[in-house]
Amino acid sequence: MTGEEEFTVEVPSGIERVRADKVLHSLCPEFSRTRLQAIFDSGLVWLDDEAIGKNHKISAGGKITFAPPAVAPMELKPVNIPLEVIYEDDHIIAVNKATGMVTHPGNGTGDDTLVHALLYHCGENLSSIGGSLRPGIVHRLDKETSGVIVAAKSDSAYMELSRFFAERKTDKEYLALVWGIPKLRSGTISEPIGRHPVHRVKMAVNPKGRPARTDWKIVETYGRDFSLIKLKIHTGRTHQIRVHLAHIGHPIVGDPVYGKKGSQIDSIRAERTMLHARRLGFQHPVEKRPILLEADLPEDFLTLRAELREKFGGQSKA
């Protein structure tokens, strides 16, 4: 299976824990219930970047993306792109995704996505439930975000991993370089996130949005201007970490959407959003044992951290 063009709809206010298939049919009446059922069965429905099934409960503020199976499948060619494999067995593969790499093909992408690389590395040993444009893909990272991402090689692993992510049965930890130093060493941000009321391509803290929780802790500070923050997310809203950190006045360094505009201190520059998916924990989808995956920081992150230490000094808060 593959998908035609992707459709994206926003879940309006007033919807609270309603089945995904009912929500999608109400928002897209041009698609019959039978057609939508086939789309769900093909694993081609996503909520805020994570695959969901028809029974998943939907609330206002989310963004549903779906791709109806195409009549003529599109063939993707494997591309020999180096991958930093963290873990691999017969059912799953995890890699440290490089910054700048798109997770899967879509409008405007080339043949340099993670999917192209996985097809070369794994051959036919990737689950096809998600469609030929997203073989094995059960969650996504933003293009500029580096770090741990896991894909399913077997169909049984795909179904279980999709359920884990949809039901928040994963443990996600991130590292971010941010502007400023929070007054407290740690805290929790529990603010709902929804579509920005004016700039519709952005997300924002919105009282009509969906509940979101981010725990944070300072790892290191650099003078008075920068901090290294460890984050754990308990929900998976679109751009959650970026929105929450900007909301408390400490946006991620280099973030072009939610960050500081044109702000530079002593020529400190970041070419991308300095966010890294450091750890991902979950139960093995087939063997039912704990899995903890860790991804080393990429070179650009290490270089900027070293520059901050050199210019401003580094004070560990761990």
Question: Which residues have a catalytic role annotated?
Answer: 142
Confirm if 300 and 148 have CB atoms less than 8 A apart. no
Given phi > 0 = left and psi -120 to 50 = alpha, else beta, which region is 239?
Answer: left
Residues 6+ apart with CB under 8 A from 310: none
Which pair of structure tokens corresponds to residue 169?
């049965």
Confirm if 139 and 312 have CB atoms less than 8 A apart. no
The torsion angles phi and psi of 95, rounded to 5 degrees, stand at: -130, 160
Pairing type for strands 146-152 and 275-283 reads parallel
Which pair of structure tokens corresponds to residue 138?
């059960």
Pairing type for strands 213-222 and 92-97 reads unpaired
Report which DSSP code applies to 294: E
Confirm if 160 and 292 have CB atoms less than 8 A apart. no
Pairing type for strands 213-222 and 226-233 reads antiparallel
User: What is the C-alpha to C-alpha distance for residues 88 and 307, in angstroms, rounded to an integer?
Assistant: 34
**Of 51, 19, 54, 9, residue with least CA distance to 34:** 54
